Amino acid sequence: MKILIVASEAIPFVKTGGLADVMGTLIREIRNLKVDARLALPLYRGIKDRFDLNDTGHEITVPVGNKNYTAKIFSYKDSVFFIECNEFFDREELYGTSEGDYPDNAHRFIFFSRAVLEACDALGFKPDVLHCNDWQTGLIPLYVKSIYKKSFSKTATVMTIHNLGYQGIFPASAMLLTGLDMELFTPKTIEFYGQINLLKAGITTADFVTTVSTNYAKEILSEQYGFGLDGVLRHRAHDITGIINGIDYKEWNPAEDDLIPAKFDVRDITGKAKCKSYLVKECSFKNRKAPLVGMVGRLSSQKGIDIFMGVIDRIFSYGVNVIILGKGEEAIHKELRGIAKKYPDCLSLNIGYDETFAHRVYAGSDMLLIPSKYEPCGLTQMIAMRYGTVPVARATGGIADTVEDYNHLSGKGTGFLFTEYSSSALEECLKRAICVYTDETKWKKIVINCMRQRFSWEKSAKEYVALYRKLVRKVTG
Ligand code: ADP
């Protein structure tokens, strides 16, 4: 069985968020199961300088609209293919700057989706399963069922939704770029309120749809979480399942992490206190004993920054220190900068993307605050738990699947959860956590509970492989 996973980002090559972690680790884990899985990515700026790529010598011609683009195919260790087209991918960022998305994103990812299929032809690699991820690759299942039907008649397609909030919606005129028959511009396929929707194309035409947690698979069928696609998803409810992401236990391991000032594990957590002292000093917090609350993630409205900002003054009245590490929307950066000026002694604002610092924040914080409006799976709560940092989070999507709310009677639980999306619910939850924090014995028990959790990839990779096998059987009859 040959699998081709297609994505717009993957570690170790390029990363803007959780998708990259998931793609990079999933491919490794599936290959560990002795399945021939390969990955296709755009060749972004800088990858060639950092990795020893092999020029396959193959050149493909990819029509987008009325123009033909030439692309070169590079490979890395025979398991990753890169599509090189500098006009589209030799840029500072992946999808856009803090001012907004690149205006030619429709061009870029229509090109990429088609180029992947052309590349398969050129390389003579006919996958049994094409596993597509998020809107950037949503056209592939539709291409497989239309323009490329002949060459991929025995290929099954899987569409994985990592985040329904991003759908790749473009003006109807972009339909001309796809080269698809205008008859396909219908609500059953790609049309979405007069525009085209690339993720919808994937959802409606893939043989199977997955998302990244069981709970999110249910949530997206509702109007509240469906982003306008809940009707389409309900229609395919029998072909949708949730497979939870894992984290990379080699990368995120406090016992062997060279990026943190002191190592520790579940048998001896003294190193964690040293990590905290280091972090407190690094951030110049005045009160060195205060509970330390970390936040790591994209600064977008999805992450619940608004309900956090709505209660910021009250949060600081509880005498906590807060570290924020994130990058995202310029308006949020601006607002946070204003707040940081007001609280120089207890708020450390770090706008930017910094992997090394992220390790220190996960290791040194007491709690990780995740007030997300929605969270398909969420990796930060799992990473935090690995480092004995207790999630204080909204029970949504994968968070509800991976964090167990603390029960003060039984002492069971791995975090503090709230349900209502509001500043007051967040405040109550954080207050509850701070209250338990003052009891050293109880707190240590939660920390240990967290560190004992296992969110490894092995089980999930096996679930993907089982799904691939089922689909291959279906397609080949
Ligand atoms: P999402 O995919 O919505 O961005 P996830 O929780 O699934 O959120 O994954 C986020 C990943 O990106 C985690 O590995 C987190 O540590 C990392 N990350 C996010 N923002 C930053 C940042 N500013 N600096 C370093 N790492 C970050």
- Is the preceding omega at residue 141 within 30 degrees of 0, hence cis? no
Q: Report the C-alpha dihedral over residues 264, 268, 272, 273, rounded to 10 degrees.
A: -140
Q: How far is the CA of 19 from the centre of ligand 1 (A)?
A: 9
Q: What is the domain class of 2-246+457-476 according to CATH?
A: alpha beta
Tokens 């935090």 belong to residue:
384
| Rounded CA Rg of the chain | 23
One-letter amino acid at 329 equals: E
Q: What is the pLDDT of residue 456?
A: 85
Give the Å distances, CA to CA, from 435 to 294, 307, 311, 431, 448: 17, 21, 18, 6, 18
Spatial CB neighbours of 40, under 8 Å, sequence gap ≥ 6: 4, 5, 6, 7, 80, 81, 82, 83, 116, 119
Take atom 14 of ligand 1 and give the residue whose Cα is closest: 18
Topology of the domain covering 270-451:
Rossmann fold (3.40.50)
Site to substitute for ligand 1 among 21, 94, 327, most atoms within 8 A of C-beta? 21
Mean per-residue pLDDT, 274-299: 97
Spatial distance between the Cα atoms of 270 and 438, rounded to a whole number of angstroms: 18
pTM to 2 decimal places: 0.94
Q: Whose CA is nearest to atom 4 of ligand 1?
A: 17
pLDDT single digits (tens) 210-261 = 999 999 999 999 999 999 999 999 999 999 999 999 998 888 999 999 999 9
Task: Report the nearest atom of ligand 1 relative to the CA of 302.
Answer: 3
Residue with tokens 């856009």: 96
Could you give the angle at the alpha carbon of 43 between the alpha carbons of 379 and 378, nearest 5°? Answer: 10
- Average pLDDT value for residue range 71-92: 97
Residue-level pLDDT at 432: 97
Q: Which residue ranges have their beta carbon within 6 Å of ligand 1?
A: 17-19, 21, 296-298, 325-327, 353-355, 358, 377-380, 383
Q: What is the 3-state secondary structure (H, E, C) of 2-61?
A: EEEEECCCECCCECCCHHHHHHHHHHHHHHHCCCEEEEEEECCCCHHHHCCCEEEEEEEE
Q: What is the DSSP letter of 268?
A: B
> Within the chain, which residue ranges are assigned CATH 3.40.50.2000?
2-246+457-476, 270-451
